[in-house]
Chains A and B, each alone.
Chain A
Amino acid sequence: MAFPKLNMMSYWVYFVGGVIMMASFLMPGGAAASGWTSYPPLSVISNNAQTVWLISMVFLITSSLLGSVNTIVTAIQLKAKGQNFMRWPIHVWAQVTTAFLLLLAFPPLEAAAVLQLADRVFGSSFFLPSGLVVSGEKWAAAGGGNPLLWQHLFWFLAHPEVYVLILPAVGVVCEIVTANARKPLYGYKTMVYSILFLGFMSFIVWAHHMFMTGMGVTLSSFFQATTMIISIPSVIILTTILLTLWGASIRFSVPMLFATAFLPMFAIGGLTGLPLGLTASDIHLHDTYYVIGHFHYVVAPGTLFALMGGVYYWYPKFSGRKMNETLGKIHFWTSFVAINFVFMPMFFMGSKGVSRRMYDQTVYTHGAATQSWNVVMSTAAFVLLFAQIPFIYNMFTAWKTGKKVENDNPWDATTLEWAASSPPPHENFPTPVEVYRDPYSYSPTTGKVLPQFAPQEG
């Protein structure tokens, strides 16, 4: 990294934030109980764990900010000789775009978290209106604030945050797919511009989370339009990866299985965003399990599967050994089946109108009518949990007993990280490396792989 000390600070601030977050579960009176959205006034009037939660958030946000600065500077300043922007692997583009999103979107939330902290600790009223009556008693605060102000500040981060979660996953999938399809990525430039456009658009769609808060015609029209627009680069990204498979020679390694499964599941997550992005259909689906199904399909079968694929893919890079293939396949197939049984029923429940965050939905008639889906989902969630045992076992045992890689580039990949030996020595590259060509290159004459770092064909 460009700033090693900043990197270390980012880590330790993160560590402290994580410990505080975990500690908040142990507070007398129970854990923070206003959801990750932490909407005031509920979050301001709730138990003390919320204060601890907010302090932890300030640490975690600070850590993210430091990390994002470091990522941006490293990627731009420490390019190898011959590396220019249009030779970056998609993964680097995705990480840099993500870092920019964090850098620009997190400060408003950090400010908002401090304001909410002030409301709780110092008795201010940034987010509290006048005339609050809680449990029959007038709430002792000056009032005059606005609960919706929090929602705007919160979603100004939290929408880009969705792309913070999904873009690195898209980058990982691109690396795995190109290496295992044995051909260049289809439409590299289209992909890069789509990612950048997606990053930009993610800043101007946030209020689609707030359609039910009394939004009028003008504002909702704007946010519906931007929401429909942001679906376009998402479709292009998916199409580009799919087209890469046309005419390929697909090697079904374990990372490729995860990357392949990512595609249809990410598609489900993306497509189910459409009815939520249009106000008319959102009236019925807003705040129901349909929403939960939608974003989990993006970040659980989507992001998580990509990340697991990434672990299998880069494991030989940092250990010099491959993870066990059979265990990997068991892990993949059980996870793939289970995770769909966890999240698919959410759409059925949500379409009936079951609200999110219910302790017991059978209180409602429509909840009782869909209760059995809950049983299926819980069972599948446990299966999914146990399906991770072979993965964790594999990850630890392969370090010592995994099959040694035959060379430094076991996947025959094209990108720069495979120029270092596997595992890499201290400082990664003993001699400076040079980049000679685009990522994902193959020789037009022999069809053989042409890594970015290879001086010539051969």
Chain B
Amino acid sequence: MKEKLAKAWHDVFEGVGFDYGLPIDISTHGSAIDSLIGTLHYFMALLFIGWGIYLVYCLIKFRERPGHKADISPKNYSIPKYLEIGIVIFEACLLVFFSYPVWAKLKTDFPDRASSLVVRITAEQFAWNIHYPGRDGKFGKTNIDLIDGTNPVGLDREDPDAKDDIVSINQFNVPVGKPVIVELGAKDVIHGFFLPTARVKHDAIPGMVFPLWFETKETGEFQIACAQLCGVGHYRMVGYFNVKTQEEFDNWLLEEEKALTEGE
């Protein structure tokens, strides 16, 4: 505890840990989100600075002083009206041309399942279970009665479709440049599946399965974060999101398959 505090203070004085701004983006859809966030912040800064200058001017110009009297005659200014109409039009444009299309693309324009990597991610306190369908592309049956320490999703290995299924805990490997479809669920409480570097966020809600998709454009090692309070271990519910080349990914799959057959 003491060491942690000492390190925290040391970092402050060294200027370490003061990062800000959006993280890097390795997804194909992320640039639309980032540009909307950017545009909005320019708009907000413009309004705020405008208001700020006006406010400071008023506070100085119209301060109480001898010989200065308030102007109490009724007023009806037209500039603020035009300004407000301008704000309305601007917001409507952001809504219709920026936000609606991104959301519609993410929610309705799913990539073809055959040419995508389809995985099931089941969140639990406090881990991410990632279920790959394996070579046959079919998910084996799962049954909650089979869930135990070694079988976190309750996969029924008797099922022929389940023979080659791979379940990894907290290691989410995906090949770069290939669409990924995630079928997201949870076992116990609500979790928030968040890939900060891929601009992906979705609540994982028990009793429901939500499909979502993304596509990466860069390799690298990143993290899965939990965005929704899920219990005392919420803060350490970190997963690893590894974007590999197709070749590395295939090798990893082969190794996992080998481990499966050896285990039998």
Contacts and interface: CB of A to CB of B under 8 A. Distances in A.
Contacts of B68: 249
Interface of A: 33-35, 37, 39, 41-42, 45-46, 129-136, 138-139, 143, 146-148, 181-184, 186, 212-214, 216-217, 220-221, 224-225, 228, 231-232, 235-236, 238-239, 242-243, 245-252, 260, 263-264, 267-268, 271-272, 274-275, 278-281, 283-288, 347-349, 351-353, 355-361, 363-366, 368-376, 442, 444, 447
B148 A136 contact: yes
9 contacts: A42-B231, A134-B125, A228-B92, A239-B84, A245-B59, A247-B70, A274-B44, A355-B226, A371-B11
B55 A278 contact: no
A278 B206 contact: no
A363 B226 contact: no
B17 to A, nearest CB: 3
Given A132-B206, A271-B44, A351-B20, A217 B144 contact: no
B23 A352 contact: yes
A239 B84 CA distance: 9
A364 B227 CA distance: 12
Interface string B4-33: 000011011001111111110000000011
Contact of B16 (A267, A275, A372): A372
Contacts of B17: 368-373, 375
A371 B102 CA distance: 32
A371 B235 CA distance: 14
Nearest to A225: B95
Nearest to A186: B75
Given A33-B232, A283-B200, A447 B187 contact: no
B263 interface: no
B62 A250 contact: yes
Interface in B27-81: 32-34, 36-37, 40-41, 43-44, 47-48, 51-52, 54-55, 58-59, 62-64, 68-75, 77, 80
Contacts, number: 296
B202 interface: yes
A146 B208 CA distance: 9
- Report whether over half of chain B's contact residues are helix, strand or loop; otherwise say mixed: mixed
B124 interface: yes
Name which of B68, B72, B149, B231 has the most chain A CB atoms within 10 A of its CB.
Answer: B72
A42 B192 contact: no
A267 B91 CA distance: 16
Interface string B103-125: 11011100000000000000011
Contacts of A353: 23, 194, 196, 225
A414 to B, nearest CB: 11
Nearest to A33: B232
A375 B12 contact: yes
Contact of B189 (A45, A283, A369): A45
Given A186-B75, A280-B99, A287 B200 contact: no
A442 B72 contact: yes
Contacts of A133: 124, 144, 147, 154, 187-188
Given A148-B205, A250-B59, A359-B234, 12 more contacts: A41-B189, A136-B147, A212-B201, A217-B100, A224-B100, A235-B84, A250-B64, A260-B59, A281-B33, A357-B235, A372-B15, A447-B69
A113 B19 CA distance: 40
A136 B149 CA distance: 7
Name which of A39, A235, A267, A280 has the most chain B CB atoms within 10 A of its CB.
Answer: A280
B23 to A, nearest CB: 6
A369 B54 CA distance: 36
A1 B179 CA distance: 64
Contacts of A247: 62, 70-71, 75
A45 B188 contact: yes
B190 interface: yes
B199 interface: yes
B87 interface: yes
Given A231-B91, A280-B102, A372-B11, A366 B201 contact: no
Nearest to A246: B58
Interface in B174-233: 187-190, 192, 194, 196, 199-203, 205-208, 210, 223, 225-232
Contacts of A232: 84, 87-88
Contact of A278 (B41, B94, B231): B94
B254 to A, nearest CB: 29
A275 B205 contact: no
Contacts of A357: 229, 234-235
A235 B82 CA distance: 13
Contacts of B235: 357-361, 363
B188 A365 contact: no
Given A214-B202, A278-B98, A279-B103, A250 B63 contact: yes
Contacts of A272: 44
Contacts of B231: 33, 42, 46
Contacts of B99: 224, 278-281
Nearest to B200: A283
B201 to A, nearest CB: 5
A135 B223 CA distance: 23
A172 B47 CA distance: 24
B228 A39 contact: yes
A238 B84 CA distance: 11
Contact of A135 (B37, B188, B232): B188
Contacts of A182: 64, 70, 72
B236 interface: yes
B238 interface: yes
B20 A370 contact: yes
Smallest CB-CB A-B distances: 7 pairs: A129-B207, A372-B17, A353-B196, A348-B20, A247-B71, A280-B102, A369-B19
Interface string B147-165: 1110000100000000000
Contacts of B202: 212, 214
Given A131-B144, A133-B144, A214-B203, A280 B196 contact: no
A363 B203 contact: no
A34 B229 contact: yes
